[in-house]
Amino acid sequence: MTSPVQHAPARRLAARLRTRRAARGRGWTARQWAALFCVLSGYVVGTLTASGTAISLPSISAELQAGPAAMQWFVTGYLLATTCLVLIAGALGDRFGRRLVLRVAACVYTAGIAISAIAPTIVLLNVARISAGVGSAGLMACGAAVLTTSFTGSDRVKAFALCGAAGGIGMAIGPSAAGWIVDAVGWRGTFGVLAAASLLMVASTFLIKETRAEKPRPFDLLGAGMLIVGLSLLLLGISTMTSGNTAVGGGQLVGAAVVLTLFIVRALRVSAPLLELSLLRDRITSAWLISAVMATAGMTGFTVYLPTYLLVVHGLNAAAAGTWMLAFTIPLFVVPMIVSRWVNRGGSAPKIAAGCLTLAATAYLTFALLATVGEVWVALIPTAALGFAIGSLTALSDAQLMSRIDHDRIGMASGLLNTMRSGATSIVLALFGAGLVVAIAARVGPQTADRLATGDVAAISESVAVDGFGHGWTLVLAGNGVLMLAAAAAFVGLILAGRRQAERAAA
């Protein structure tokens, strides 16, 4: 006869198996699927809109007889509206309802895209694009807030990982898919197709559960105005500086610094500011905010200029460069689900994130060393490692950050995350591009540098092109590596400080 003690391990194993079967059989509700579908649709449509817009610029300019200034606003207006309003949209969601703001934002976005398809003039097209940017702000802020309130625990990690995978898929096939659509139906037809797809996003909002803050706060209208002015000056200053007008751009950046400093000072003094900086008192929350921002900003310049590097230094054509970039993009949509399962099975999210920030830094520094050495395939390993690192950070960071926010401030936190993400991405991209041109110019002169940075190698000897661009690429990648190392150090330091903070609070 066996004793109860001998049966104990078997009983524990059976209990674990029953728990896993129950969890697998529980499934998600229709409201949860609707929330996930809405957010995933936003990712896909947003990616195709961005790619289709970039591909269609020459056709739009020719058909509507638009000059450079008008076309610049076509690109910049959308970004300005989105970045300046995303924090405001999150605050409105907390006060009036996250589903409500998400639905209104989806309607405004869809209307903006639809009007873009029929706009007879560049002025109306720019107004429509700015309207779509307003809608995009609400989608970004309240999309993450709705996911946070719709899912809990391991389901939340999985849902955010699916969004990360969708972003990776969009990056991998978005340009090609947008190119096919534009070739098939033209730029107006492309906006029409995307508007029709966006209607599904609008419809899904009617199934999502409504949530709002239990104790709504008064809306900080003055703070909202200061934020809009400050961020507008910041983005315009970056754009103006990169176009070569340093005097005006510098003045805009100084103005942005003054206004945003006043915004922060005011937020520390008033009772109900647009942004409660107390969110950042939790060191672990701050650590995950850094991780989430760097997951996007840290790869921006690399992904934009990598095809040009492959063209100039290694002589690859566009098709070959696109295929080569799969080494980076495939991990972006494969890794998130693997990492989410690992964390849900007991893996340490902070250790994974710290390791991946360090891996990204190592990949950049390794690629910098190999930029002009050997065959092009040598750089596939650091490129794939970077894709693995960014994919892992994308899978973890948003879910870990939002899980630490109390219910009443979820929209505010989502708005803060996306504001910092958009701002940091714009700054890093501008610095990456400017740094690349300056570093190339140090080798081959400013005129040749401007041409090489855009991939124009006509009448430039191969040795000069490879030496100049390779030198610039090495330096900017090394800078990215140092930036990611600093982010890794800050992340680890804040995690450790947060744990000590929690231990003192418990004592």
pLDDT recorded at residue 19: 46
pLDDT recorded at residue 17: 45
Q: Which region among 18-22, 129-133, 353-357 has the lowest average model confidence (pLDDT)?
A: 18-22
Top pLDDT among 17 and 413 is at: 413
Q: Which region among 72-81, 197-206, 282-291 has the lowest average model confidence (pLDDT)?
A: 72-81
pLDDT recorded at residue 472: 92
Residue 214 gets which letter from DSSP?
Answer: S
The residues, ordered by sequence, that sit 6+ positions from 423 with a Cβ below 8 Å of its Cβ are 83, 231, 234, 235
DSSP of 223-259: HHHHHHHHHHHHHHHHHHHHTT-HHHHHHHHHHHHHH
Residue 240 vs residues 69, 236, 371, 425: alpha-carbon distances, Å: 12, 6, 30, 16
Average pLDDT over residues 379-395: 92
Separation between Cα atoms, residue 348 and residue 362, nearest integer Å: 21
CA atoms within 13 A on the CB side of 246: 1
pLDDT recorded at residue 320: 79
Burial class (CB in 10 A: 0-12, 13-18, 19+), 13: exposed
Extents of the domains making up the chain: 29-216, 220-273, 276-507
Q: How many CB atoms within 10 Å of residue 198?
A: 26
Separation between Cα atoms, residue 364 and residue 387, nearest integer Å: 11
pLDDT recorded at residue 321: 78
pLDDT recorded at residue 359: 96
Average pLDDT over residues 87-98: 94
pLDDT at 491 over 70: yes
Burial class (CB in 10 A: 0-12, 13-18, 19+), 209: middle
Average pLDDT over residues 20-48: 77
Do 233 and 83 meet the contact criterion of CB atoms below 8 Å apart?
Answer: no
Average pLDDT over residues 171-177: 68
What is the topology classification, in CATH, of domain 29-216? Answer: Growth Hormone; Chain: A; (1.20.1250)
pLDDT at 9 over 90: no
Residue 439 vs residues 166, 300, 308, 394, 482: alpha-carbon distances, Å: 35, 18, 15, 31, 17
The residues, ordered by sequence, that sit 6+ positions from 200 with a Cβ below 8 Å of its Cβ are 37, 41
What is the topology classification, in CATH, of domain 276-507? Answer: Growth Hormone; Chain: A; (1.20.1250)
Q: Which region among 6-10, 60-64, 171-175, 398-402 has the lowest average model confidence (pLDDT)?
A: 6-10
Do 57 and 180 meet the contact criterion of CB atoms below 8 Å apart?
Answer: no
Which amino acid does the sequence have at 93? G
Topology alike, domains 29-216 and 276-507: yes
Model confidence pLDDT, tens digit, residues 39-84 = 988 877 877 777 667 777 778 888 888 887 788 788 788 888 988 9
DSSP of 403-419: TTS-GGGHHHHHHHHHH
Top pLDDT among 186 and 4 is at: 186
Do 177 and 51 meet the contact criterion of CB atoms below 8 Å apart?
Answer: yes
pLDDT recorded at residue 115: 95
Confidence (pTM): 0.86
